[in-house]
Amino acid sequence: MLDFSRVLNSKVDKLIIAPIFGFAILGNYYLGIQIFYLLTLLPSIIFYYTLPQDAIGKTNSKLKKLTCLASGILALLGIFLAPILIPYLFPKFLDAVLIIQILSIAIIPKTISSMYLSEFIGNQKIMTVLIGSIIFVTIQVSLILILGELYGVLGLALSMVFANIAEAGYLLSMKRIKLKN
């Protein structure tokens, strides 16, 4: 169920966007998503390193904080380098520049989520992770339909940002509740 929810997180947007908004918008959005995944590569690697560490009780909080700082730097790189590199590398996808800049903001909450996911999965708190995934998908699908209709492809990118913020906020609140108990 957990694997299904994580796969659904990464695929549901594309399944909705193509029939509702068309393949031209999906193409620009998907290029932005690919750049987003490229920029989240380092946090993903750190996640797979910290997961077994969290499972044995070693938290690596310093590494996690450094990863969050690095994700902030990666977000800034995405914001400032997209207008320079995209016209050169993908001249037919100029509409993707702003999408990439918006999605770059989502790198930070995505990294925060992955650091908490590592801890929750390592401590076998699967229900917390599952609820976080449900929150992500619910927010993203709702906002794709609402913001996509209002703002087009920019609304689609914003739906990804807000869904990542919601998931990170939920996981952060669950961590704080766990610390109080």
pLDDT tier at 2 (50, 70, 90 boundaries)?
A: low
pLDDT at residue 180, as a whole number: 72
Residue 1 has pLDDT above 70, yes or no: no
What is the mean predicted confidence (pLDDT) over 156-173? 96
The angle at the Cα of 52, spanning 51 to 55, to the nearest 5 degrees, equals 90
C-alpha dihedral (123, 50, 43, 76), degrees to nearest 10? 100
The pair of structure tokens assigned to 138 is 């619910």
Task: Report, in angstroms and rounded to the nearest whole number, the Rg of the chain calculated over CA atoms.
Answer: 17
pLDDT at residue 10, as a whole number: 75
Q: How do residues 30-86 score in pLDDT, each as one tens digit?
A: 999 999 999 999 999 999 999 999 988 888 889 999 999 999 999 999 999 999 999
pLDDT at residue 5, as a whole number: 67
pLDDT tier at 3 (50, 70, 90 boundaries)?
A: low
CA distances from 12 to 15, 32, 75, 80, 133 (A): 5, 16, 24, 28, 12
pLDDT at residue 6, as a whole number: 67
Phi, psi angle pair for 76, to nearest 5°: -65, -40
The string of DSSP letters for 65-105 reads HHHHHHHHHHHHHHHHHHHHHHHHH-GGGTTHHHHHHHHHH
Contact assessment for residue 159 and residue 143, using Cβ atoms and an 8 Å cutoff:
yes
φ/ψ region of 100 (left if φ > 0, alpha if ψ in -120 to 50, else beta) reads alpha
Closest to 10 in 3D by CA, of 42, 55, 40: 40
